[in-house]
Structure 1
């Protein structure tokens, strides 16, 4: 069968051979068949070898991120990683603005990370392919072979929480960096909680141990109490003569000391055995033995294999091999039920401790196949990506759709698709986790490929937008530099150039065939979406002239594609364009990006607060009849509206046959009544009514009335702020308010809007309305010495309410389900300042962190960060989120209105 097609000659050759007499030679034919079979065997062998090579390359890939509180040393540590891996030839400095990952002008000017940066390097130094042809030697650690590390440096400021969330969404592992002086801070707990949401394996790196006041032991105990995990101490700090300067670390896994020379670039490391440490630093050697005992004991509580190894070594903790300990640590890190987290030490700015941290990333954090299975959904069915690729998830979704469609009319000759066929056509599945507008390359869409291979020029279907786009160019990013590639394999992070519509959080599929859409039900496939937090601050954006308005809108669209946590709205009365964001710094950075980077000729006003308006009494019933021509067609409809206060807690279900809908939307309740409509029900489903206009069903009527009410509630009658905590009862009487074919959906919606607006105006002449302001949940982290002044400022000057004062407030997602960890049960080496009077349980009082939980009006939190830093000598931080809207007092309302009118 194979001989004919493979030996077919060109037509010209066939014509030439026609001049010769056919001659059949069985020996030559047999020789050709053997040659063909040999080529086929070689092709199969090459395919198997290529598949094995790709599998080995994926096993030697790490997708990691660096997460931490602001100013913990994330970017500094990243710079050292790039330097030691050979990616850069000099070490960048945050203060000088010369770092690789902080390449935006705003980042270099402020010395902070604003947007996450992706970069690829190899550790140990190499091209990433060295040693991949040979299998890994189990007797050697994974760090003996060169691995490809895709690293993402994330922001630490609370205003850029969404940037951290979308980066964590696609990571396989993370390095959490702690400040050795400050310990576990408020934003550290927040990013730890986000990483726990996605079940990301982590290691901890205690940084800045060279600074005065660094307390490694206290930080270890805070990890257990505030993060609710067991720290597996793999490194202990090495101080000169026990209480001098920081010069290195002692490795409890390999039982050796690592010493760096101060003032050098950190490339040369002096390694000392346990016996040499006994001679030079006997106290450190003794502490190292205690650390090894504690490490083996902790692992024995979670891992049975290490217990067997321990007994094989005659219960000698020091005799357990480093490879057995590394394997045990890796099993605990990859086990989602384990609470053990490896902990390492160093001082990145002094070039100490980064190389062992890189070894830990390779040895302990998972490769893409070992990472937790990403969550996907098809319709209402959720599960893991591996279940999807096996076909089980699609089969479950098909059965659910079939069960829900029982009793409904089915199309004749309907053929149910085979789930295996749909999966067979799926070539790749990727998540767009970030969109960046580059001045030279255009719009860059960062993607994480979860299955298959994303190839250049492939057709990508966006399941969120239901449209297809070509991927003309693919890039591998190195911070601000890029290298063009032909494909992005599964488990890797890359960039697609040229997509016009893709946004953050969109799922992209490539599939076999030339159809514009993939086969059902892949069109409904979505990877776990990224939840966008609501904005709390807004500012006005105005173009310099009418001719610049279009350019400004285009720039705003690009800005929103980059950062979905920004929102743009237009005020109906003033016509102003309002930009909303997560905080003051967030809006300040957005302004810089809009004006300096995107070159929009516009100006931004001062930061404002989004107030609300609420009614104080009950209006009388107001009836309005809409009777106008709309787009050349007659429209006539009527509606009666009543407005009253709504407490937000009354149940939505109302036992009344005339009620068509009772729904709470954006803090307001809308009730639609239609007495005498005589709804006809078919198979327990509302279908229509004989009193409705021709061609209109109940769902269309509900939607039209609801849209009219929402349009009226968007603007208050007295202060023009959106209405809140308001209940609107809309009555449609078929005999009085519906006029046959003239009652179109637009006419009904306009009648509902007019009636609701008139009822709201009726409130002004009666009980009136009151302004509402957003009240925030604020968590402030300060040191013990600044506690009193901050509490006094919140309660007296800012009108806030203190809810609690607590030292250990855990934000971990496991805090409710898992028992708390007693810090006394956790091994932590003695800090240099600890004495008999100041023990392990009570560190230095002035440096003890306290947490204040309060509710404060949002207006009082504008500019609070600068004030807090002045109260706490720069050490205080806070995070906040919207709690609810509350009515303002008459005096406060008068002051706010005077300020607003003066501002305009």
Structure 2
């Protein structure tokens, strides 16, 4: 009989022995294909305080990486190593760590010689290399989760068995769905008072839009006592944690033993197995065949076949089946089976779709590019209005590696560390990396494999692996790094490979800001350098300078986000600066259009006369009604630069809803015929467009009313070469002329009709119990001036759409909670119906979706907890900017003047 690594199928005691840290394994001798097959790149995602870091600590302990279990409250965890994380007890930045499961020992079965051997034995019987990323759960650090999701192959979503599916969980689950990341769920904290496994499973179907496949059920002592273990539905056994306090000892009970000692529990395991097989049969034809082969006996199907069927359904896109496991990480129950499920169910890098790439103006996948034959010619446009040039097969063959830099960290000992995910080939020590975003080549002096705050030097990072490159001076989050054979540090790849880019990571616009002033001029350089490192680490931070006051403004995603950045600046970087009060980033917009205004510039620049001219006009852009608001994906698409079909005009779009349209006559560098006008020698068409765009953007940074950035405004720039260009025209002169022309037009529009002040409006998703619903709705609509969009109970179909997803509603699986199997909760109220979520009427979880001004949401969490008895939670995201009423505008301006 084959013995699984994690536990014996036979009902005997098995001890998980904690081993010394092992950084190298027998897998070091495997070829890259086999190494990728035995690799899992996974992330831990969840709402704050669901137990992500606690679960990660147990994984590290049972894998043999650590000798003791870290505690979040004590600040002794491996992945939360920043001082701010340990002080607050929360995860702030995602931490990557590598370990092996099962642990590498002499008793580990030998590696299979061919991939087909995997069908003969459970994957969890073979030691796998797991690259795990522990992500934050706070809404202010959503960008940190998104950039981690970008490089993951699978995810474990952890739910609080007491709170159920919370707001931030719903949001990150939907975002993971947009990347088509296979996910499994671990229901945690089942040892706590008020834990309800049944209710949580029903919420999974209603809110996460998938059919829960219950793979484990809780084992309560005596049927209604303490949580002591789980019932393994897949292998039809009971797993009881006993003996050692660290959870390293457990005993497996067969069905015969369970029927003798706990008939009800044994019967529930059988019922769960029947339901699991029937659910899998709806989505996996192979399970139907197995069911018929075993004489329609649900219990006769081997557990290994159930695992393979679950794996096939998990890898389907979109994912409709969600495997659910149970446990209590703090009590050390259920973590080892979860590790087995990660290896058994989640995909290897070879089983993931090829990443999307862009090559010039063309989009494709990386595998299509690398598999092109000598007869295949991929068109790569180099310049606008020019014919595409073919990318030859030899040039593709010389592309030896392609990777994405998804995270940059400043380490106190090692300097700047760039985390990369390699998608093809191998990055070797000393390789020259070409950054296709910055068009800069850098050498990788060393390569590291990270273990949270510890590191081990390696010779190469192969395809499918996550590693770290220290010493890079320019790489940022989202940059694509390629290795090209024969490339030098001062050259670029031939053909169009210098434009090859993996899908970038979208950075949401910040809504909070604070001022930063150095204590003295001598400290200014150190403060600026520290801020530059912070921004390189976290692209969701934004830095700007107020030209009139000279103040430096740091903007972020939330008050906690800025508070952490401030603490790191002062404590970690030892910057000596004054930090101002956290403020809200308002916008302003004009109310009327202007007639074209032409500005002619003539001044001395660097001792030389500079001349330029431009004609500008401005007009307001109609706002969208709340009912017509776009999804996140549409907003991202609208935020990118776009060009009109007119070959003699260019349109730029910004995150603030502005458009800059530049119209120009036919221009040529060399041709001065009647059809094309000659460009002065010092200029090119791209430099002209870039200079005009920079000047207009600079003017939009300060509005005519209260110096807030301008939003929802259309800028029309018209360049007439005969009168606006001359031999003395420079890009700097064009930029200054554009800025002056747009600024004058904005002031003219404000003089004609006063500009309006816009405030950020948030889309808030609030979870409260039934008894608190009325007071929360009244507070939102009356005291905070919000607009309630919907009230959904947890069983409603639309409950999952508000989590900030952007997924099309018709792509979601609509699940009826009444059709979901769940084992009975021993502590559930007697009045809970089968179609509900296992709670009494007063405790039914309700969801409120509302649009509320950001100013009213500052400090809202404390107020929400006060009026809900500490049980309310919420998550919010920017939904747009709206005009204020005159009374509200006066109140906001008066309050700002108090702190001026």
Q: 2:514, 2:273 → 1: CA distance?
A: 56
Q: Tell me which residue corresponds to 1:590.
A: 565
Q: 1:120, 1:203 → 2: CA distance?
A: 20
The Cα of 1:729 is off from its aligned counterpart by 5.2
Answer whether contact 1:119 1:151 (CA < 8 A) is retained.
Answer: yes
| Alignment of structure 1 residues 705-784 onto 2, 5 Å | 705-728=692-715, 737-738=723-724, 740-742=726-728, 746-763=732-749, 765-784=751-770
Answer whether contact 2:361 2:380 (CA < 8 A) is retained.
Answer: no
Q: Tell me which residue corresponds to 2:297.
A: 316
Q: 1:66, 1:686 → 2: CA distance?
A: 64
The Cα of 1:324 is off from its aligned counterpart by 1.2
Residue of structure 2 aligned with 1:453, choices 395, 420, 426 = 426
Provide the alpha-carbon RMSD of the alignment. Answer: 3.4
Residue of structure 1 aligned with 2:855, choices 832, 848, 859 = 859
Q: Tell me which residue corresponds to 1:849.
A: 845
The Cα of 1:872 is off from its aligned counterpart by 2.5
The Cα of 1:584 is off from its aligned counterpart by 0.8
Q: Tell me which residue corresponds to 1:897.
A: 893
Q: Tell me which residue corresponds to 1:490.
A: 463
The Cα of 1:102 is off from its aligned counterpart by 0.8
Residue of structure 2 aligned with 1:156, choices 134, 137, 144 = 137
Q: Tell me which residue corresponds to 1:789.
A: 775
When residues 394 and 894 of structure 1 are mapped into structure 2, their CA distance, relative to the original with a 3 A threshold, is farther
Answer whether contact 2:374 2:392 (CA < 8 A) is retained.
Answer: no
The Cα of 1:427 is off from its aligned counterpart by 2.2
CA offset digits 1:816-842 (Å, max 9, x no partner): 224412222221112224466322223
Answer whether contact 2:691 2:735 (CA < 8 A) is retained.
Answer: yes
- Mapped pair 1:520 → 2:495: yes
Answer whether contact 2:702 2:710 (CA < 8 A) is retained.
Answer: yes
- Between stretches 68-77 and 643-652, larger displacement belongs to 643-652
Q: Tell me which residue corresponds to 1:873.
A: 869
Match of 2:815, SS state, is coil
Unaligned runs of 5+ in 2: 1-26, 626-637
CA offset digits 1:415-449 (Å, max 9, x no partner): x6631x12322222221111111111111111112
CA offset digits 1:229-250 (Å, max 9, x no partner): 1111110111122222211111
Residue of structure 1 aligned with 2:820, choices 816, 826, 839 = 826
Answer whether contact 2:831 2:840 (CA < 8 A) is retained.
Answer: no
Give the TM-score, by structure 2 length. 0.87
Match of 1:761, SS state, is helix
Answer whether contact 2:445 2:471 (CA < 8 A) is retained.
Answer: yes
Q: 1:287, 1:520 → 2: CA distance?
A: 64
The Cα of 1:164 is off from its aligned counterpart by 0.8
Residue of structure 1 aligned with 2:36, choices 58, 81, 89 = 58
The Cα of 1:308 is off from its aligned counterpart by 1.9
Q: Tell me which residue corresponds to 1:469.
A: 442
- Between stretches 870-879 and 199-208, larger displacement belongs to 870-879
CA offset digits 1:623-643 (Å, max 9, x no partner): 544332333333345556555
Q: Tell me which residue corresponds to 2:878.
A: 882
When residues 119 and 702 of structure 1 are mapped into structure 2, their CA distance, relative to the original with a 3 A threshold, is closer
| Alignment of structure 1 residues 309-708 onto 2, 5 Å | 309-391=290-372, 395=376, 397-398=378-379, 405-406=386-387, 418-419=392-393, 421-515=394-488, 516-617=491-592, 624-638=599-613, 641-647=616-622, 665=654, 666-670=656-660, 705-708=692-695
Q: 1:617, 1:511 → 2: CA distance?
A: 54
- Mapped pair 1:103 → 2:81: yes
- Between stretches 821-830 and 174-183, larger displacement belongs to 821-830
Give the TM-score, by structure 1 length. 0.86
Q: Tell me which residue corresponds to 1:256.
A: 237
Residue of structure 1 aligned with 2:151, choices 170, 174, 181 = 170
CA offset digits 1:90-122 (Å, max 9, x no partner): 111111111111111111111111111111122
When residues 749 and 210 of structure 1 are mapped into structure 2, their CA distance, relative to the original with a 3 A threshold, is closer
Q: 2:715, 2:487 → 1: CA distance?
A: 51
The Cα of 1:490 is off from its aligned counterpart by 1.9
When residues 754 and 128 of structure 1 are mapped into structure 2, their CA distance, relative to the original with a 3 A threshold, is farther
The Cα of 1:766 is off from its aligned counterpart by 4.2
When residues 353 and 692 of structure 1 are mapped into structure 2, their CA distance, relative to the original with a 3 A threshold, is closer
Q: 2:846, 2:69 → 1: CA distance?
A: 36
Match of 2:266, SS state, is helix
The Cα of 1:263 is off from its aligned counterpart by 7.7
Match of 1:451, SS state, is strand
Residue of structure 2 aligned with 1:213, choices 173, 179, 194 = 194
Answer whether contact 2:59 2:335 (CA < 8 A) is retained.
Answer: yes
- Between stretches 128-137 and 71-80, larger displacement belongs to 128-137
Q: 2:644, 2:230 → 1: CA distance?
A: 71
Residue of structure 2 aligned with 1:90, choices 58, 68, 76 = 68
Q: Tell me which residue corresponds to 1:277.
A: 258
The Cα of 1:898 is off from its aligned counterpart by 2.0
Answer whether contact 2:514 2:554 (CA < 8 A) is retained.
Answer: yes
The alignment covers a number of residue pairs equal to 842
Answer whether contact 2:210 2:813 (CA < 8 A) is retained.
Answer: no
Answer whether contact 1:659 1:671 (CA < 8 A) is retained.
Answer: no
The Cα of 1:851 is off from its aligned counterpart by 1.5
Q: 2:614, 2:853 → 1: CA distance?
A: 38
CA offset digits 1:372-406 (Å, max 9, x no partner): 32222222333333222212699453377899855
The Cα of 1:744 is off from its aligned counterpart by 5.1
Answer whether contact 2:542 2:555 (CA < 8 A) is retained.
Answer: yes
